[in-house]
Chain A
């Protein structure tokens, strides 16, 4: 079976998890794609650590406001009822347990629920930003990632090799192959995205994956875009 990387599938599946009224923080990178797939009948409070609650879609070209940005520094719009606050208050919200879901990008995630996403020593050292506080404070931590690295190795591991962002804080991993719950030191496959099969996923992932009894196979209408992971 040929693997075609599909970030939009990851984003679309995650967007389907949330319910009206929940507080969501979407991290930089793949997680920012989630916003455009949130169903119209679901009203969320999108929070960003730079001090904003109630983020709307990206502004039309020409109507950007340099003082209204997201955590990636990109201009955003706001919904009625939105509010701004300073960074100390922002992390009261984040670390204090007031965020329902934190969706974060991944370099490596392991079956113990550890996440590494801020540093490749000696090479790429972006820094953790707000990620360590988000994983500590959010009710549910979702790791959002393409299943494979460009090298072909799976990003899901038995044990992370890179410096950790979070220790045993990840609850759910969503890749472009399926949805995995993290429980008792194992990944539990809850959903498998067609055309992949549970057996194919187990074979191509360097981690212990238990297939749940009620694991379902889901077919997405998300157009797989040809892109390199």
Chain B
């Protein structure tokens, strides 16, 4: 059996900020193509910093983040939608293509395709101010997908929405992953969200990988919310509690 080479590899990656704060401290991880990995951990454990290093919005102070191929296209969906308020939804979604020099007709067609798939075609001519918070996040997700990235980075996209919208967004994220097949790295505070969406949950504490857990539950069981799913959530909760304990002990020390 041949094993596919990883699409992304973290090799003893560290990021130290001024004042000696080590947000990421020697993380070694590899992501398989098409995998869905969730990063969870207590606040300040380095999840978002790690994601920013992948997105090249920041640089590691030690170690390397390596792509499996010469060029790996990637997109980010942030916690806040970051839409340009003066642009219509379709123009916001088409922005990455516009900045890449794609002609108008082509980029609009691509943006409308993505909006159609997300069930947002009716809102394509609206301005962001005319949308609900949940719809804005879905537009931001559509914008992240319009370039058909090989790697999709999601930085707590559901953190600022209500529970119902979170469920809608999670369903959207899952549909996207299934249809696009992008390698997905999700940062989240919600253990149940991580277990429901991802096939691997990485628990971080104090900038390090505290636990690396492969979710064993079938998709149907997760959708049902059955005992096996709840068991997995509880297991990850215990891992998170242990990681939080390790983090607070570290602080106390």
Does chain A bind chain B? no
**Chain A contacts to B: CB under 8 angstroms:** none
**Chain B contacts to A: CB under 8 angstroms:** none
